[in-house]
Each structure stands twice: as C-alpha cells, then as structure tokens.
Amino acid sequence: MISAALIRSLDRNATIFLAILAAVTFLVPFCNLVFPPGSMLHVPTYLVSLFGKYVCYALVALSIDLVWGYCGILSLGHGAFFALGGYAMGMYLMRQIGTRGVYADPILPDFMVFLNWKELPIFWYGFQNFAYASAMVLLVPGVLAFVFGWFAFRSRVTGVYLSIITQAMTYALLLGFFRNNFGFGGNNGLTDFKDILGFNVQSAGTRAALFVVSCIALALGFLICRALVTSKFGKVLVAIRDAESRTRFLGYRVESYKLFVFTLSACMAGVAGALYVPQVGIINPSEFAPANSIEAVIWVAVGGRGTLTGAVIGAILVNYAKTTFTSGPLAPYWLFVLGGLFVGVTLLLPRGIVGTYRHWKAEREEKKKAQAPAGVGHAAE
C-alpha cells in the first residue's frame, strides 16, 4: 500500500531526478574505488567527501522546503536540528575512540579528561551503541521540534514572529553548547574520530560508503516528501500556506498538520547532520549559528520553494559556488555574493530556478493550447 502511494506520487520530473541521483550514487564511488589515481576517470577521495557534504545539505534544504514551500512555515532554526543530529552521531564516534585517544582513557573522551571530569555524564550513556545513537539522531531533534511546535502553533504564532523565535532557539543552543560545563566539548566540539561500525572513518572505502548512504537518505527523504505533498494531506498543507484562517474555519486542525510536518522536517535535518559529521570529521557549536539556518533558506529560495527538486538543486549550486569563492582570492566577499544572490533571486526570480522554469513551461503549453483551436477553426473555413 505504501509502495503504491510512492509510485503514484512520482511524475516525470521526480523520476528523472531519482534516476540522476541513482546514477551519481553509483558512479562517484565506482570512479573513486575502481580507477587508479592517475586515471582521468578517477574521483579523488576528498571530492567524494565534498560531494557527500553537498548531499547532506540537500537533505536539509529538502526538509526546509517541506515546511516553508508547502506549509508556509519559514523556519530560521533548522540549523539547530541539523547540529543536534550531528552531535548525536559525534557522541557515538567519540565513544568508539577508547584508549586510542590522547589520554588513552577507555571511557572518557579526551576533552573530559582535559577538563578533569571524573565520570561520564548520564546523557552520554548508551552512545557506545550505534542503534541507540541512531535513535537519538531522530528523537532529539524530533522531540525538540515537537515541544517547540506544540507551544508555538497552539499559540498561533505565525509569520515573521515564528521565524524570529526559531532563530532565538538555535542561538540559545549555540550559547549553551559553547560552554565547557555543558558536556559537549565546548567551542572545540567533538573531533578526532577513528572509526564507525568498526571501519576506519578516513579510508576511501568508508568515505564511499558514507556517500552512498547519504544519497540513499536523500532519495528516501525525497520520496517521503513527494508522497506527502501529492496526497490529500499535502493539499491541506498548501491550503494552510495560502489561507490558514479559512482552512481552520473549514474544520481542519491546522495546528496538528503544522506540528506533524515540522517534526518530520526536524527529523530529516537531524539525519542530514548525522551523515554530515563522519564525512567532515568534526561537529562544534558553530553549526548552531543562526547564519547557517538563514543560508539554508537561501538555498531553497534559489532553487525554488514548493518544488522539492529545486531545494536540492539550490543547495548544491550555492554550496558549489561557496566552495569555489572561499578557496580563492574572492573569499572575503562571499557573504556579499550570497546576500546579493538572495536579493537578486527575490527580485528577478521570485519562484526560484525550478519554479521559474515550470511557470515558463506552463505558460508555453497554455499558449499552444490556445492557438490550437484557432488553427483548427481557420482550416475548417
């Protein structure tokens, strides 16, 4: 039944997107592991990790598009859910270090030994198990989003006010995680990871596997979002976005719809953060920075909100541009470029890249349909 709903939700554009993603999922690791470094077809390991990071960002953008593009909830705090998922995975990776750390303590991470912690905090218990850590990747962002949304949506906080309090939430977490006595490594965060599930996290094979898992997570996230937005549930979300008061007067429990989609979106962002951490090798409080959440919104705006594929494209394009700009002499001007890009897209392409293309295509088809009857009538005369 679920598979049938997923198949019905796929149109031509969605099928093409999944086909391209499947090809990339296979080709990038294949070219990295099979072809030797001197070959023109070889993909270096550092590029595999870089592409994996882009895929994780694409999953975050997808989660934002679900709540913003289809439900009208402009969240400026999804960076918090991303970072919490990353910290959950980082805690598991730290517990795997054991005696291989600088201080060779079998239980305490190095930063706790350095800060003279005598015992492991209770909230670190269980993170030596991958299954437990994986559950926390979903539960911690999900519970936070549920509690936050429960109070915000039932208080009918909407629009810019909701955006501000989501930003305040992530900033409060930023300040908390910066503290050394918080138990998460302070401003240095968690790093120096050794292995994941017994495999060396630095090896080419592990990097390729993480990239494949990231692509699979993106595909699953896309399928879930696609199934939701093409169902009756998705029609209600669009109605809430366009006319929330009217939808409420029709008898729909608007708060419940918004709470569900907001929580699901937070879980998706948490998964993205968990896949991001072993590929970049570090997680620290800077991931909570409000600027990161705002930048993620820009990805969606550039690609086209309310399109799903546009969010993915926007995330990849903007981060590729960021990589290009920040690795050369133009690095100091990247934020100006990013701000100019957002202003330019808002003024010139308010529907984003994909949204503008779809609008242009729809107008072209309508003109063809309008011209067809006229041509038929003229021929009959």
pLDDT at 375 over 60: no
Q: Which pair of structure tokens corresponds to residue 340?
A: 């100019």
The helix or strand, by DSSP H or E, that contains position 282, with its residue range, turns out to be strand 282-283
Q: Going by DSSP bridges, is the β-strand pair 199-200/282-283 parallel, antiparallel, or unpaired?
A: unpaired
pLDDT number for residue 280: 95
CA angle (217, 264, 8) in 5-degree steps: 65
CA angle (318, 323, 326) in 5-degree steps: 110
**Per-residue pLDDT tens for 270-289?**
999 999 999 999 999 999 99
pLDDT number for residue 357: 87
Q: Which of 352, 326, 269 is nearest to 62 (CA)?
A: 269
pLDDT number for residue 125: 95
| Bridge partner list, 282 | 191
Residue 264 has a CB neighbour count (10 Å cut-off) of 19
pTM of the complete model: 0.93
Residue 329 has a CB neighbour count (10 Å cut-off) of 7
Tell me if residue 129 falls in helix, strand or coil: coil
pLDDT number for residue 62: 97
Residues 6+ apart with CB under 8 A from 175: none
pLDDT number for residue 323: 92
Q: How far apart are CA 94 and CA 68, in angstroms?
A: 35
Q: Are 61 and 352 in contact (CB under 8 A)?
A: no
pLDDT at 3 over 80: no
Percent of the chain with pLDDT over 90: 78
Q: Which pair of structure tokens corresponds to residue 346?
A: 């808002």
| Bridge partner list, 283 | 190
Q: Which pair of structure tokens corresponds to residue 194?
A: 């050794």
pLDDT number for residue 275: 97
**Per-residue pLDDT tens for 59-112?**
999 999 999 999 999 999 999 999 999 999 999 999 999 899 888 889 999 999
